[in-house]
Amino acid sequence: MIIDIHAHLGEDVVFDESLNEQELINAYKEHHIDGGIVQPYLPRPYVSDTMEIHNRIYQLTKNKEKKFWGMASICPHFRPGDYDKEAKRCINELRFVGIKITPIGHATHPSSKDALHVWEVCQELKVPIMIHTGAGVPFSDPISIAKAIELFPDVTCVLAHGGSEMHNQQATYLAKKYDNVYLEPSWVGVLGVMNMINQLGYDKIMYSSDNIYNIPVELAKYKSLVKNQDDLDKILYKNAVRIYHLDV
Ligand SMILES: [Zn+2]
């Protein structure tokens, strides 16, 4: 089984990307991906646009061909009441499994006051927080998250892109130091991922693509580095099932 913990849907006005439901399903069929955790491509920063893409993701979670789970992505600068209402709707009603902060896209330092509110919401709703790391330094430098990680040791934190190619040492350092920190190393080169495995073992790393054209590239990295099937299964789906409580 293979589960992709970082997929997108919709139209992104920050990174100028887009993907629709059928394109994602077709890519998963082509590469034998069993399912994915899908988050919005960043819409225009309005509550209504945010709800609209969350609703689309919710519809996708009912798809029968592949397994899909939702991840909420809400601008942390929305008024707290609006933020809380949409976060609770996503987790409690739409049964989403996590919440995302994209520092560069949301213009949010991940340990700032508004970001810490997101951590509080994740703590209350008992879901992992995912934070984009890599492009968008200094906000997206993994070390920017250290303060929040220490303030919320009971909130599971997944570092998206594992710091990416430039900052994966910092991400690996945090994942080694803090029990509640995990990595999804999409876009990290194979030597960076090897270093992650050497330092962390196989229990804190999760397969993810971020982009359908990157699906086979990410698979190739793990197939090159990990020869034991049990270890490979942890990265390809078992860690994701455990960390996000996925009903597979
Ligand atoms: Zn992404």
Distance (angstroms) between ligand 1 centre and the Cα of 200 equals: 23
* Beta-sheet strands, E only, within 41-186: 67-73, 98-101, 129-132, 157-160, 181-184
pLDDT for residue 167 = 97
In contact, 23 and 212? CB cutoff 8 Å = yes
Average pLDDT value for residue range 189-198: 98
- At residue 140, the pLDDT reads 96
Q: Which class is 3-244 in CATH?
A: alpha beta
For ligand 1, the distance from its centroid to the CA atom of residue 231, given in whole angstroms, is 25
Give the mean pLDDT of 41-70: 97
Between the CA of 8 and the centroid of ligand 1 the distance, in Å, is: 6
What separation in Å is there between the alpha carbon of 123 and the centre of ligand 1? 22
Beginning with the edge strand found earlier in the chain, give each strand of the sheet holding 129-132 in spatial order. 17-19, 3-12, 35-40, 67-73, 98-101, 129-132, 157-160, 181-184
Q: What is the pLDDT of residue 157?
A: 98
Q: How confident is the model at residue 78 (pLDDT cuts 50, 70, 90)?
A: very high
CA–centroid distance, residue 125 to ligand 1 (Å): 22
Q: Ligand 1 centroid vs 17 CA: distance in angstroms? A: 10
Across the range 13-36, mean pLDDT stands at 97
Q: How many A from CA of 20 to the centre of ligand 1?
A: 15
Listed residues: CB within 5 A of ion ligand 1: 210
Q: pLDDT at position 200, please? A: 98
Which tokens go with 179? 């029990």
Could you tell me the distance, in angstroms and rounded to a whole number, from the CA of residue 64 to the centre of ligand 1? 24
Average pLDDT over residues 60-71: 97
Question: From CA 32, how far away is CA 16, in angstroms rounded?
Answer: 27
**pLDDT, tens digit, for every residue of 123-173?**
999 999 999 999 999 999 999 999 999 999 999 999 999 999 999 999 999
Q: What is the average per-residue pLDDT within 189-207?
A: 98
For 211-232, what is the mean pLDDT?
98
Task: Compute the mean pLDDT over every residue in the chain, rounded to the nearest whole number.
Answer: 97
